[in-house]
Amino acid sequence: MSTSDKNWCFAWFAKSRSVGAERAALITGAKWPKGSTIEISFLDGSDALRETVRRHAAAWLEDKTVRLRFAFRKDTTNTPIRISFANAGSWSTIGTTCRQVPAAKPTMNFGWLDGASEAEANGVILHEFGHAIGLIHEHQSPDEAIKWNKDAVYHDLAGPPNNWSKDVIDFNMFTPYSKKETNFTKLDPQSIMMYPLPSSWTLDGFSVGVNSSLSPTDKRFVRAQYSGN
């Protein structure tokens, strides 16, 4: 997620992923079991930054029918999710693949959070925690139907502040997931998992602004994935 229309998050699988998901979309193989308590720790960062993360991440679990819990640990970093503020960019592993990251290495990073407004902080934290509970980027649906101007995307993301390689751009922008490896909804331009997309990146003028809160579809989708037995 971006704190502006210039910074983009990248999501990654700790080891590998099958190529070829959909709209508000979740990778079924990286989904947490219902009823999970997901333990989280911080590798660095001020008390204020840590509290900001805790406060905003909780919005994913406001619906009490969602059977997940975030447990922020202060006494250990031996947790599946480990958060840093020390690296470039903002990013997260997808769902349970965080367990494959070597111990003491971060599975999530917030490089743009210090000095961010409340709306910016809310957006980037909810986005990365969406990845952490298994959600992918909204635009990587197999039938998202975005008509990309790929040359413009390559040009913009290869330069500052992102400085992504072509492989990273292809993986995070143009590589879709298969229907059989995901649960999904219809494309939701208001989703917290949707990148801000300038009209110059599409051939038909389609664009999306910066989303900073959970959309109604985000809430319904996570309730459907993590409620019940």
CA-to-CA dists, residue 41 to 48, 65, 106, 120, angstroms: 14, 25, 10, 22
What are the phi and psi torsion angles at 46 (to 5°)?
A: -75, 165
> Among all chains, which residue has been given the structure tokens 């602004």?
209
pLDDT, one tens digit per residue, over 109-139 is: 999 888 899 999 999 999 999 999 988 887 7
Give the end-to-end CA distance of the chain in Å, rounded to a whole number: 31
Residue 196 belongs to a domain = yes
pLDDT, one tens digit per residue, over 81-95 is: 999 999 988 899 999
Residue 3 belongs to a domain = no
pLDDT, one tens digit per residue, over 129-182 is: 999 998 888 777 665 678 899 999 999 999 987 788 998 888 778 877 666 545
Residue 17 belongs to a domain = yes
- 15 lies in which domain range? 10-226
CA-to-CA dists, residue 137 to 103, 128, 171, angstroms: 26, 10, 11
Residue 90 belongs to a domain = yes
Cα dihedral 210, 213, 218, 222 sign: positive
Higher pLDDT, residue 13 or 116: 116
Number of domains forming the structure of the chain: 1
CATH number, domain at 96? 3.40.390.10
Q: What pTM was estimated for this model as a whole?
A: 0.83
Measured distance CA(40)–CA(132) in Å, rounded = 11
Residue 1 belongs to a domain = no
For residue 13, which of 96, 82, 87, 97 has the smallest C-alpha distance? 97
